[in-house]
Structure 1
Amino acid sequence: MQGVALITGATSGFGAASARRLAADGWALIICGRRQERLDALAAELSPSTPVLALQLDVRDAAAVKRAIDDLPLEFGDIQLLVNNAGLALAPGPAQAVDLGDWHTMIDTNITGLVNVTHALLPRLIAWGAGASVINIGSTASGNPYPGSHVYGASKAFVQQFSFNLRCDLQGTGVRVTDLSPGIAETEFSLVRNAGNETAADAVYRDTVPLTAEDVAEQVAYIAALPAHMNINRMEVVPVRQAWGPYAIHREALSEEKKPEPA
């Protein structure tokens, strides 16, 4: 039996797949999310072979997060692994056309939520010591700008830098920190991003071979199982069909009065 792993955003996508994969490796699980019925279904699927605590939780609520962690049952108290997976993207249009509320929702979930959970769990992870891990689910969007990424990409850049800075502060405690950054992956992510528009969501994956949630969960399990003396600072995982593109160059015919003067 491994230690206890706490996974946020465990109701779908990478979170649910990570729960299944870690359960196969013998981890006890605290699965967190806002949709109780999905948590209950996942817990029922994994039990009785895996000890599972289904914890309905909104990571954006700092007081609720602290309460939930403080009130954990004794058998789930010794947490060795935190998978900060809860996050989302909204409003894939240009920044100037986006509702401000969507920006705040991404910041509150992807940044504030991750900070809330990490802060609440650090004492328990440090108490475990060598072999404890924080795996923050980032994104290739953290360093690769593209149209419509605006606050989403910026929030994942925060995840990357926060992971690196946390590594510095935890030096000497034995606690590892990894920024795990997937590329394009077929989950409910695009459906949420496109406000439930299935046609728009499906178009993201059309005629290509994206990652699956299970691909990413496999990397979570790999990082968690590393020997205690090893740390992966950042792991970027993309499908073979995803690579970098050229700079976007805006072109239009210029009138004589608009043409730049020769140097």
Structure 2
Amino acid sequence: MKTAVVTGASSGFGAAIARQLVAQGHTVIGLARRQDKLQALADELGERFVPVSVDLTDRTAVDRALGDILRRFPVIDVLVNNAGLALGVAPAQQAQLADWDTTVATNISALLHMTHALLPGMVQRNQGHIINLGSTAGAYAYAGGNVYGASKAFVHHFSKNLRADLAGTAVRVSTVAPGLCSGTDFSKVRLGSDEKAAALYQNVQALTPDDVAGTIAWIMNAPAHMNVNYIEIMPVAQSFAGLSVHRSA
């Protein structure tokens, strides 16, 4: 059985990932800000789920938490960089710079910090797996996607560059890029209300957190000689949009 660190573990994809991995007998160290939700998940899952309350954008706090984790669990087999968010759908020229900064700090900087901390141990042991959560927004631009989409494109390309650097080792790196998914706080945080988030999924059978978690569990449990570089998943109801054309009056 493996020991996995999962960021953004208190709800949505992270909680679903924790449930599936614990059910398979793995140990999950779940990192997130909301201690109450982490504790509720720990009460549900038992001793194989280890809650760690930390703000992933606070480097000092993360270093302290990682030091404690590595003292208790010297061998981390899997890092799932799941924590991420989007704020607003305003066009770039109207977006709030603070929202961009928060998106970059969460989706890029925190992912880099976690990877930088845990990757050397994996390389030293010549065993390990980093699984990064991307998004279809990283491949297909849309109005209002701006920095969020760019941050997920970064995740995909960073994962590919990690693979290049890790050639000759047995350490694996994968990106999972989901499309439209309900049952998370993502759209509520992005749009600012439950009503707007609910409207987005009305009359659509979207992906669920369990769909994403099952994909991650399959990748993680694949044979050691097999690396899933990138996998993109969408609900059947979602497909590719046509290119936008603006016509003069």
The two structures share one fold, judged by TM-score above 0.5: yes
**Structure 1: which amino acid aligns with 2:242?**
P
Please give the alpha-carbon distance, in whole angstroms, between the structure 2 residues aligned to 1:213 and 1:159. Answer: 20
List runs of 5+ in structure 2 lacking aligned partners. none
Partner of 1:170: 166
Partner of 2:98: 101
Partner of 1:238: 234
Matched position secondary structure for 2:77: strand
Contact 2:22–2:49 at 8 Å: present in 1 too?
no
**Structure 2: which amino acid aligns with 1:122?**
L
Please give the alpha-carbon distance, in whole angstroms, between the structure 1 residues aligned to 2:150 and 2:46. Answer: 38
Partner of 1:183: 179
Identity of aligned residues (%): 48
Dislocated runs of 4+, deviation >3 Å: none
Partner of 1:4: 3
Contact 2:8–2:82 at 8 Å: present in 1 too?
yes
User: Equivalences for 1:177-256 in 2 at 5 Å?
Assistant: 177-186=173-182, 187-195=184-192, 197-253=193-249
Please give the alpha-carbon distance, in whole angstroms, between the structure 2 residues aligned to 1:183 and 1:243. Answer: 9
Contact 1:90–1:192 at 8 Å: present in 2 too?
yes
Name which of 147, 150, 154 aligns with 1:151: 147
Matched position secondary structure for 1:22: helix
Please give the alpha-carbon distance, in whole angstroms, between the structure 1 residues aligned to 2:142 and 2:67. Answer: 40
Contact 1:79–1:128 at 8 Å: present in 2 too?
no
Cα offsets for 1:183-230 (capped at 9, x unmatched): 0000211000012x1121111111111100000000010000011100
TM-score, normalising length: structure 1: 0.91
**Structure 2: which amino acid aligns with 1:88?**
L
Please give the alpha-carbon distance, in whole angstroms, between the structure 2 residues aligned to 1:76 and 1:100. Answer: 38
Note the aligned Cα RMSD (angstroms): 1.2
Number of aligned positions between the proteins: 248
Matched position secondary structure for 1:191: helix
Partner of 1:46: 45
**Structure 1: which amino acid aligns with 2:89?**
P
Matched position secondary structure for 1:184: coil
Contact 1:30–1:76 at 8 Å: present in 2 too?
no
Please give the alpha-carbon distance, in whole angstroms, between the structure 2 residues aligned to 1:114 and 1:32. Answer: 12
Matched position secondary structure for 2:80: strand
Mean CA deviation greater in 142-151 or 198-207: 198-207
**Structure 2: which amino acid aligns with 1:96?**
Q
Contact 1:30–1:54 at 8 Å: present in 2 too?
yes
Shift of 1:115: 0.4
Please give the alpha-carbon distance, in whole angstroms, between the structure 2 residues aligned to 1:129 and 1:54. Answer: 27
Q: Does 1:125 align with 2:122?
A: yes
Which of the two has higher C-alpha Rg? 1
Please give the alpha-carbon distance, in whole angstroms, between the structure 1 residues aligned to 2:209 and 2:106. Answer: 20
**Structure 2: which amino acid aligns with 1:8?**
T
TM-score, normalising length: structure 2: 0.96
**Structure 2: which amino acid aligns with 1:99?**
Q
